[in-house]
């Protein structure tokens, strides 16, 4: 029997939990394989045997695909590890082919976090072997056996695994069996990924086809369990399992029998990390949740993204879960009743909104909020695109107004030089003022609009289509107003043809930036702007009209228009995202989820803010409130001057059941200066702020009568 010390200082490329070849095509009865760690046979027949310039010394371990021997390199005088194809499998063409595949895959990789391959050979009796370094250290499995790892060590080791996987994936190689026993920590702390014995060259035919399951059960992804071909995302799933184990010392999908483990992986959710390890940063918990998503499309796009995410968390850029949250429970009843009621309202009482529960607040903006523009929390100039009016009475031209609004809003947002008020929020604010008299851009109207959207500047104008057929010209006359006084500070005139609508808006946006003394967006930023709209003008036509319908609370009409846009451009992320919203408004949750999933898959082409909002909708449609709240927390941190993100954070926290304590933490950060809680001295002020965002709110369990009279509460809350 090998001593404990010997097993810890020698490389272990085949491990006790590696399945036998029979297990590769059928489920084992447990997560363990059939290997006895201390097995000595057939040492008698192989000890001292020469394989080329290598002499076998002693057996380290045995697995389903073969044996690992400690050996001496006679030529160079060094100790190495030799992996032999199991004698009961030697001579099998399929086993030999897989063994050679391992050699080709692993030897192509040269990375500090991947085990090197020195040589591959074959004996005269067709015994195949690999020669690798014999590292001194311990497996990650041994390290986890001593207990959960500190967060800093987890971030370091997880980062090394992700970097190694990123290199392998970049070369088209999928490991397919990432697990703690396949991860070696050397004496200097370097982590090595071992055993590409079941690796697959991406795109190569035959050896690891769909329906043939290869890997270790406890670390297989849901798609592998269903017999589907594994790609890089299967490795990312296994990485999530490993990180969870490092943090908790336990497996996220435990079970005594193989069938139990399989059922858990396919259908159960792991216990939330925050319950087991309250010190785990919220962003690390979110990353693990994404890695362990049942849907491969919901996992990080690539291992390189995981590397970057871990780096940011380690550097302290992302927000960690604060320690004082747990102390809030003891202190919450000592809070003033005003703060407590406000916290309850923001956290869960009034922050439940749905398109299906459309309602209006019976409050108006207080006069104090209409006297000056609140400065942006980020220090950027803020602008609202108020929309464009057609100078023609031709109804067929009306679609261009909302289309130009969407396009110019996206154009001005490029590069983050402006804080651009969302077109949705601007449209809803204008609609709320429309019932108070004729809409005109006089000083009084601009002041009221300013109180609702909080922008420093407004962009508005007119358009006219000239000519006919396919040669129509669009003329834009645009004004920039200061929202404090309503005075015009700049004007732009631009024209172009309908087919070059994107270029027309880009030129217009550039002139507006120049007039305001701001730099132009980069080429990359312009390309990202294109992703915020459909690529074809006819699809933009239906898409823009659909958004207008959504904002006027007509989801059925919006759905019909979006389906027409989808038929023109089915891969458009923004069309699918809007379609998801329409389906959700109509109570079609399954269809909403399907559209959100399609948008989620294409989100990488979008700017950061748009990516995150698409992710949030995806998780909301799946009722994954914890993940949605984490994304809204990131959005609220990145864009503190966007009130909607803070309110949505409070709502999703409440739905996730994370309690008043964390919700109140989110709520206290929701309101950007200067409208923080110190300004919320009355229920009417709270109602006004909620009205600013045009969110449909309802109140539950409000025990103070004077609060009840402020908000109109729909019967179905």
Q: Catalytic residue numbers?
A: 177
Using CB atoms within 10 A of its CB, is residue 678 exposed (0-12), middle (13-18) or buried (19+)?
exposed
Indicate the SS3 state at residue 510: helix
The structure tokens 């179905």 sit at: 716
d(CA 576, CA 631): 19
d(CA 488, CA 479): 6
Using CB atoms within 10 A of its CB, is residue 442 exposed (0-12), middle (13-18) or buried (19+)?
exposed
String of b and e for 403-420 (b: at least 16 CB within 10 Å)? bbbbbbbbbbbbbbbbbb
d(CA 298, CA 603): 11
Segment (H or E) for 447? helix 443-453
Indicate the SS3 state at residue 346: helix
Residues 6+ apart with CB under 8 A from 235: 165, 168, 169, 174, 175, 176, 178, 303
String of b and e for 5-21 (b: at least 16 CB within 10 Å)? eebeebbbbbbbbbbbb
Length of the chain, in residues: 717
Distances, alpha carbon 108 to alpha carbons 96, 169, 173, 196, 616, in Å:
18, 12, 9, 11, 39
- 217 close to 259: Cβ distance less than 8 angstroms: no
Quickly list DSSP for 276-302.
Answer: H-TTS-HHHHHHHHHHT-SSGGGS-S-
Using CB atoms within 10 A of its CB, is residue 692 exposed (0-12), middle (13-18) or buried (19+)?
buried
d(CA 502, CA 201): 41
- 569 close to 535: Cβ distance less than 8 angstroms: yes
Q: What would the 3-class secondary structure string for 604-657 be?
A: HHCCHHHHHHHHHHHHHHCCCHHHHHHHHHHHHHHCCCCHHHHHHHHHHHHHHC
- 711 close to 699: Cβ distance less than 8 angstroms: yes
Q: What would the 3-class secondary structure string for 129-198 be?
A: EEEEECCCEEEHHHHHHCCCCCHHHHHHHHHHHHHHHHHHHHCCEECCCCCHHHEEEECCCCEEECCCCC
DSSP tag of 401: H
């Amino acid at each position: 029997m090998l001593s404990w010390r010997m097993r810890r200082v020698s490389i272990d490329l085949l491990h006790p939990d590696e399945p036998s070849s029979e297990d590769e095509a059928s489920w084992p009865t447990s997560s363990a394989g059939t290997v006895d760690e201390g097995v000595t046979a057939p040492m008698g027949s192989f000890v001292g045997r020469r394989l080329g310039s290598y002499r076998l010394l002693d057996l380290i371990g045995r697995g389903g695909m073969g044996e690992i021997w400690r050996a001496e390199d006679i030529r160079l005088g060094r100790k190495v590890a030799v992996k032999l194809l199991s004698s009961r499998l030697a001579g099998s063409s399929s086993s030999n082919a897989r063994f050679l595949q391992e050699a080709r895959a692993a030897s192509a990789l040269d990375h500090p976090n991947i085990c090197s391959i020195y040589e591959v050979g074959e004996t005269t009796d067709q015994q195949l072997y690999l020669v690798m370094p014999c590292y001194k250290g311990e497996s990650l499995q041994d390290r986890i056996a001593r207990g959960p790892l500190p967060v800093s060590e987890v971030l370091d080791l997880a980062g090394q695994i992700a970097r190694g996987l990123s290199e392998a994936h970049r070369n088209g190689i999928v490991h397919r069996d990432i697990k703690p026993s396949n991860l070696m920590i050397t004496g200097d702390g370097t982590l090595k990924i071992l055993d590409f014995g079941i690796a697959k060259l991406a795109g190569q035919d035959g050896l690891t086809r769909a329906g043939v399951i290869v890997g270790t059960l406890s670390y297989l992804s849901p798609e592998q369990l269903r017999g589907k071909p594994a790609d890089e995302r299967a490795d990312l799933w296994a990485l999530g399992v490993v990180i969870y184990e490092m943090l908790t010392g336990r497996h996220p999908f435990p079970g005594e029998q193989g069938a139990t483990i399989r059922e858990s992986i396919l259908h159960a959710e792991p216990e939330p990390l925050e319950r087991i390890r309250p010190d785990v940063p919220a962003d690390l918990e979110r990353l693990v949740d994404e890695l362990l998503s049942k849907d491969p499309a919901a996992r990080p796009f690539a291992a390189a993204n995981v590397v970057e995410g871990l780096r940011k968390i380690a550097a302290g850029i992302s927000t960690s879960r604060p320690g004082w949250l747990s102390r809030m429970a003891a202190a919450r009843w000592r809070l003033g009743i005003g703060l407590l009621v406000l916290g309850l309202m923001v956290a869960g009482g009034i922050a439940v909104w749905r398109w299906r529960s459309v309602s209006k607040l019976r409050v108006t903006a207080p006069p104090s909020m209409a006297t000056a523009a609140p400065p942006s929390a980020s220090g950027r100039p803020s602008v609202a695109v108020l929309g464009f009016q057609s100078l023609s009475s031709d109804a067929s031209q009306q679609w261009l107004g909302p289309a130009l609004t969407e396009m110019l809003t996206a154009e001005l947002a490029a590069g983050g030089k402006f804080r651009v008020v969302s077109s949705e929020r601007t449209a809803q604010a204008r609609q709320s003022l429309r019932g108070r008299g004729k809409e005109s851009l006089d000083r009084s109207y601009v002041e009221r609009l300013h109180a609702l959207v909080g922008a420093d500047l407004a962009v508005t104008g007119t358009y006219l289509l000239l000519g006919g057929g396919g040669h129509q010209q669009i003329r834009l006359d645009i004004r920039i107003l200061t929202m404090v006084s309503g005075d015009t500070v700049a004007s732009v005139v631009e024209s172009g043809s309908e087919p070059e609508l994107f270029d027309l808006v880009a030129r217009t946006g550039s002139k507006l930036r120049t007039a305001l003394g701001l730099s132009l967006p980069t080429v990359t930023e312009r390309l990202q702007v294109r992703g915020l709209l459909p690529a074809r003008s006819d699809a933009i036509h239906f898409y823009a009209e659909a958004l207008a319908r959504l904002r006027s609370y007509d989801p059925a009409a919006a759905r019909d228009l979006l389906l027409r846009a989808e038929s023109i451009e089915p891969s458009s992320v923004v069309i699918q995202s809007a379609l998801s919203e329409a389906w959700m408004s109509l109570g079609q949750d399954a269809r909403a989820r399907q559209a959100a999933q399609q948008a989620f898959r294409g989100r990488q082409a979008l700017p950061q803010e748009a990516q995150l909002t698409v992710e949030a909708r995806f998780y909301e449609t799946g009722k994954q409130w914890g993940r949605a709240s984490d994304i809204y927390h990131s959005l609220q941190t990145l864009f503190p001057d966007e009130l909607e993100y803070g309110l949505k954070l409070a709502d999703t926290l409440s739905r996730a059941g994370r309690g008043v304590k964390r919700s109140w933490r989110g709520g206290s950060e929701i309101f950007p200066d200067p409208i923080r809680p110190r300004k919320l001295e009355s229920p009417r002020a709270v109602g006004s702020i909620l009205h600013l965002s045009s969110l449909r709110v309802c109140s539950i369990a409000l025990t103070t009568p004077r609060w009840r009279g402020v908000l109109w509460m729909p019967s179905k809350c």
